[in-house]
Structure 1
Amino acid sequence: MEEAIGLNIEGVKKRIYHGGTGDLPKFITGSKVTFHFQTLKCDSDKTVIDDSKKVGVPMEIIIGNMFKLEVWETLLASMRIGEVAEFWCDVTHTGLYPLVSKSLRRIAEGKDPTDWHMHTCGLANMFAYHTLGYEDLDELQKEPQPLIFIIELLKVESPSMYKRETWALNNDEKLKAVPVLHGEGNRLFKLGRYEDATNKYREALICLKNVQTKEKPWEVPWMKLEKMINTLILNYCQCLLRMEEYYEVLEHTTDLIQHHPGLVKAYFLRAKANAEVWNETEAKKDFEKVVDLDPTMSRQVKKEIRMLEMRMQEKEEEEKLKYKNLFS
């Protein structure tokens, strides 16, 4: 292993374990860089925090796309294909690592890294709940410290060499992608492919939420994006109803109503979800609110209430029969 070498950046030291091949790649804006990484503490045991090889999926970042941990772009730009190197970085470069790690872990667990259904940003959520959801990351968040990154550079692709996914787009490109994803979600919904439709709606929501974080809350540009987000969440909830995910519908619609109490469709979908889980009183309250907000829906609401009362009556008769047989 070579001695530590400088990278012309304060607070970073590099040691090469295995030299790569060829010339330094061209790390131009928009290039996709694929690499494996291991993150370690600087303690006596070199405690491993994250390891992409254990997850089984290499890391990908897009150069110039404002990745939270900016120092990684600098580290990667010093490497050749196939090179394995260790980088020591002081706390000025590692402060945001717990947030980055949380997102990567959520992706590995098959969860949404952006928590798009929440109406506050990731930092606000962190301070509200005092936790990132992982004990070791909470500790690292409270006491920032230098970290060691062991990186193996696998490949560098120019923007023309790969199809960029929505997370890799800039803000303008994300906004252009939203109506396409929205339309595709609607088409899949009509075909009865509800799970596929939710994926399209979710992807569009992530694009909008990422753009919205750059705007000031409740100002005109932010509100325009919020209106688009609300529409997509309601479409998403319609899919969930068809998929019989009633409690998730209740969660999302309740969140929407708390922030936007005039959304008729949110009350209507929540009423239907409440009806499906036998919350008759809550369902009727929501149906009444729908009519208060939009009297033109009274006919449809009356039909829904009749269906609910019939189902409740059938349920009551079934329960009476069950208890009768039990004690006969």
Structure 2
Amino acid sequence: MDAALLLNVEGVKKTILHGGSGDLPNFITGSRVIFHFRTTKCDDERTVIDDSKRVGHPMHIIVGNMFKLEVWEVLLTSMRVGEVAEFWCDAIHTGVYPILSRSLRQVAEGKDPTEWHVHTCGLANMFAYHTLGYEDLDELQKEPQPLIFVIELLQVEAPSEYQRETWNLSNEERLRAVPILHGEGNRLFKLGRFEEASAKYQEAIVCLRNVQTKEKPWEVQWLKLEKLVNTLILNYCQCLLKKEEFYEVLEHTSDILRQHPGACAGG
């Protein structure tokens, strides 16, 4: 059955290879969609670019979370659980696929997909874009082309049915998570569980830093977030003191004093 018209998206053709079961899932914002996928070229050989089954674990995306390859959310939300479908996608939808593929491959290889960005800057950062480190992906990057995605929808979980990691949250959700993480850190600290407490404080700091990147440095909202971050850093330092990791405490507190003379203890 050719269900291309059901998608109502230009440059996408869908063919159902195996029908799913039940009604169309309720793909509300924040739902986690778990699936296997195989990506091939549109050549005679159907050259395989990526295959999650070869990697050994399925892929997942969060609905409404601006996933890097936007068309995948469109494809998945047209499917029933257990369905296997083939999607032909024009080059207008596949231009960023090489960058996504690079990240997925690096995760599968146990590497940090953001490592190149963390350790390079300026001119070197520009040159990093000239190669993705994989010859086939460099070719796709230079000459965007239609691709075929064969997708098997395994499971759809509502936001309340799974533990969401903070990197999956929206900025509003991150801000709501911070006081919860802060309070949990304080509770663990009082129980003498300093390692676990420091992890909660660190997670809260990461949430705030992610939100802070959207604000202009040194303006009112940025400074409010910075104050919250410094409070959490000082809490984190209290954990380090209990673990006798004095050098790192000196580094963190010196940074705070350099940027904000007069900063006082957290709580």
- Where does structure 2 lack aligned partners over 5 or more consecutive residues? 263-267
1:20 Cα deviation (Å)?
Answer: 0.9
- AA at the equivalent of 1:141: Q
Q: What does residue 176 of structure 1 align with? A: 176
8 Å contact 1:126–1:132 — kept in the other structure? no
1:230 Cα deviation (Å)?
Answer: 7.5
Q: Percent identity?
A: 63
Change (3 A) 1:177 1:21: same
Q: What does residue 69 of structure 1 align with? A: 69
Matches within 5 A, 1:1-328: 2-3=1-2, 5-6=4-5, 7-113=7-113, 118=118, 127=126, 129-130=128-129, 133-135=132-134, 136-181=136-181, 184=184, 187=188, 191=192, 194=195, 200=200, 203-216=203-216, 219-222=219-222, 224-225=224-225, 235=236, 265-266=254-255
Change (3 A) 1:127 1:40: farther
8 Å contact 2:178–2:204 — kept in the other structure? yes
Change (3 A) 1:18 1:178: same
- AA at the equivalent of 1:39: T
What's the TM-score once normalised by structure 2's chain length?
A: 0.70
What's the TM-score once normalised by structure 1's chain length?
A: 0.59
Higher relative contact order by CA 8 Å / sep ≥ 6: 1 or 2? 2
1:112 Cα deviation (Å)?
Answer: 4.6
Give me the whole-angstrom Cα distance separating, in 1, the residues matched to 2:71 and 2:27. 14
CA deviations over 1:186-232 (Å, ceiling 9, x no partner):
747995765x5675455445434543444456655446556766787
- Bigger radius of gyration among the two: 1
SS of 1:175's partner is: helix
1:145 Cα deviation (Å)?
Answer: 2.3
SS of 1:14's partner is: strand
8 Å contact 1:114–1:206 — kept in the other structure? no
